[in-house]
Amino acid sequence: MHCAIDLRVIAVAAWRQENIKPQIEKVFGRIGECAEVSEAQIFNVLQSLLWMSCVNSCPDCIEEYLPYQNLAKPSRGLLRLLLPPEMGIIDYGQSEWRKRIIDELATNYAVLLTCEQSQLPQCKEDVQALLLEKIEIGFQFFYPTIESVTRNGRIWDIELRIWEFTHG
């Protein structure tokens, strides 16, 4: 049975979670010196973070003029820079890196693999092999997927996830 919950409901409920509220307040504190953040602003930021197909808040929505609102403009890119990743980071080639990735995927469903530019050809081959490996979670098996590949200078970041648990 599949039950869909509207993103607006999740955004409202998330604000009332004790572990989420301080993080959102911290983000607004770092964005700018707002005397008071309204619930509408918080709702809009939370809802924008829940848009599954939106990689970066779309310019059409951000630039739309709303005469009765003065809201901070949400940006996923900015939030990613301000907040540390919520997943384990494993350096390619360190001892037992493959076992550590599998363990991280089996428990937290996401992991960030980093590698140097010089290691990239071999890393690509090893990641392709890893994508064919079943990860046991509970009594089921799942395959990892690549969520994103980004480059920062000479360092490559490969984000791996168990799709069924992070996008369900």
- Grouping H, G, I as helix, E, B as strand and the rest as coil, residue 35 is coil
85-97 tens-digit pLDDT = 678 899 998 999 9
Which pLDDT score is estimated for 28?
A: 73
Instruction: Give dist(CA 93, CA 13) in Å, integer.
Output: 41
Q: Which is more confident, 47 or 135?
A: 135
If DSSP codes are grouped into helix, strand and coil, which group holds residue 58? Answer: coil
Write phi, then psi, for 66 (nearest 5 degrees). Answer: -120, 105
Decide if pLDDT at 130 tops 90.
yes
User: What is the mean predicted confidence (pLDDT) over 55-81?
Assistant: 59
pLDDT of residue 97: 94
For residue 13, the model assigns a pLDDT of: 77
Cα 14-166-127 angle, rounded to 5 deg: 150
pLDDT, averaged across the chain: 78
| Residue 46 near residue 24, CB atoms below 8 Å | yes
| pTM higher than the cut 0.75 | no
SS3 of 60, please?
Answer: helix
Higher pLDDT, 66 or 150: 150
- In order of their start, the domains of the chain are 7-82 (no CATH), 88-166 (3.30.110)
